[in-house]
């Protein structure tokens, strides 16, 4: 049977694979990053109201006007960034479609795309889908960005760099100096920044700085975010793209042909959340995540894992060398079977899996579930 060559290098998503394994074993799923707590009532009521009002047909392909306008107001309020909702915003089916649409719209076959390693699972396959070549730059956990190393990755074929801050899976929040260094390189080489800021409001050591706010960067930055993490609705699939007018025109065409549009009633609800949830919602959410982070990181350390506490996002990479000598896929499998806790092996996020002795824990869970996971891990470790 024939299948297209572009798919041959792809493997099944390890994140989703671990979720299935967790379900088979009744394990606590700290693998796939989705919250187990409710979304804000305001958001849910607004979605119900929109469906009752029969907002059931296609929204405008590039996004319902109330959502684009609410996002423009939010970017102004949080970051002082002026965005034109008519020409510079596209709403997509999650940040995942956003990144794919942006790459397909801006990158040609043969172009190079710089990707930090470890990376989020999708970036490599996204680049491959457009015939581009991902160029990996190591970004070790807990270390500052090595700008000289990054500079060496830029060449005549470099079209774009993918940035993800706060970062999945490392928990890094890029500093102002690091972002300025990246910005200078991109300006010198005429390179676009594709920045995935889906964890923008989940920051412990910040602030979160959108690279689009740096001088001269809005014109070469494509900012991706969405409702999934900020409002605990990963299944709603509402993503957003902010890009300069000419780039947006190309991105909207790709998005239209891929998916036509994101769910119309849910766009109305996210617009209302952006407009009406107070600042305390966002600070309260970050505080709650900080407590979850401290709970899980404390338990992991007691159990014998080694880690650097994340500065943002809701994942922690933990070294298990004191608890096992096998490779990380084998260890993650054993952790599901023997401890009843599911994780993602780091090898899913790096190019040389053989050396990895780390797994990723997601802590976007209620404290009682994290306490239960902590107990299981301590028992597993014999502590
Ligand atoms: N972003 C989440 C994670 O990294 C969910 C990934 C997914 O399954 N789409 O776990």
163 CA → ligand 1 middle, Å: 16
Ligand 1 site, CB within 6 A = 15-16, 32-33, 168, 362
54 CA → ligand 1 middle, Å: 31
User: Given ligand 1 and candidates 121, 170, 202, 239, which is best to mutate, with the most ligand atoms within 8 Å of its CB?
Assistant: 121
Ligand 1 atom showing the smallest separation from residue 362 Cα: 10
Give percent above pLDDT 70 in the chain.
Answer: 100
User: Given ligand 1 and candidates 15, 18, 30, 93, which is best to mutate, with the most ligand atoms within 8 Å of its CB?
Assistant: 15
Grade residue 100 by pLDDT with cuts at 50, 70 and 90: very high
Write down the pLDDT at residue 328: 95
Q: Which CATH class is domain 54-276?
A: alpha beta
53 CA → ligand 1 middle, Å: 32
Write down the pLDDT at residue 14: 87
Pair of tokens at residue 48? 């119900």
Domains 5-32+280-381 and 54-276 share a fold: no
pLDDT tens track for 42-82:
999 999 999 999 999 999 999 999 999 999 999 999 999 99
Structural domain spans, the chain: 5-32+280-381, 54-276
Residue 277 confidence (pLDDT) above 90: yes
pLDDT tens track for 23-42:
999 999 999 999 999 999 99
0.95 exceeded by pTM: yes
Write down the pLDDT at residue 165: 98
Residue 9 confidence (pLDDT) above 90: no
Write down the pLDDT at residue 354: 83
189 CA → ligand 1 middle, Å: 32
Range 5-32+280-381 has CATH code 1.10.3720.10: no
Do the Cβ atoms of 288 and 314 come closer than 8 Å? no
């Amino acid at each position: 049977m024939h299948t297209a060559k572009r798919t041959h290098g792809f493997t099944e998503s390890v994140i989703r694979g671990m979720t299935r394994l967790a379900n088979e074993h009744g394990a606590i799923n700290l693998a796939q990053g989705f919250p187990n707590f409710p979304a804000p009532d305001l958001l849910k009521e607004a979605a119900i109201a929109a469906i009752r009002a029969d907002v059931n047909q296609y929204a405008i392909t590039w996004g319902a006007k109330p959502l684009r306008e609410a996002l423009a107001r939010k970017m102004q309020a949080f970051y002082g960034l002026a965005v034109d909702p008519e020409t510079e915003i596209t709403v997509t089916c999650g940040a995942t479609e956003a990144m794919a649409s942006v790459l397909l719209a801006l990158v040609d076959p043969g172009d190079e795309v710089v990707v930090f390693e470890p990376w989020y699972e999708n970036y490599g396959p996204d680049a491959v889908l457009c015939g581009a070549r991902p160029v990996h730059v190591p970004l070790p956990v807990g270390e500052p960005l090595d700008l000289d190393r990054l500079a060496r990755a830029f060449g005549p074929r470099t079209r774009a760099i993918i940035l993800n801050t706060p970062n999945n899976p490392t928990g890094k929040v890029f500093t102002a100096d690091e972002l300025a260094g990246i910005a200078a390189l991109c300006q010198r080489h005429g390179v676009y920044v594709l920045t995935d800021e889906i964890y923008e409001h989940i920051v412990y050591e910040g602030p979160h700085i959108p690279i689009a706010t740096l001088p001269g960067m809005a014109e070469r930055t494509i900012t991706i975010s969405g409702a999934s993490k900020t409002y605990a609705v990963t299944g709603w699939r509402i993503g957003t793209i902010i890009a300069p007018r000419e780039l947006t025109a190309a991105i909207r065409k790709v998005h239209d042909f891929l998916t036509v549009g994101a769910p119309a009633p849910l766009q109305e609800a996210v617009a209302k959340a952006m407009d009406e949830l107070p600042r305390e919602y966002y600070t309260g959410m970050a505080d709650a995540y900080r407590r979850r982070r401290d709970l899980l990181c404390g338990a992991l350390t007691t159990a014998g894992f080694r880690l650097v506490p994340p500065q943002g996002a809701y994942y922690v990479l933990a070294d298990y060398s004191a608890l096992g000598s096998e490779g990380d896929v084998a260890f993650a499998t054993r952790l599901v079977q023997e401890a009843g806790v599911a994780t993602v092996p780091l090898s899913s996020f790096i190019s040389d899996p053989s050396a990895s002795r780390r797994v990723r824990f997601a802590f976007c869970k209620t404290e009682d579930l994290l306490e239960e996971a902590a107990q299981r891990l301590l028992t597993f470790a014999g502590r």
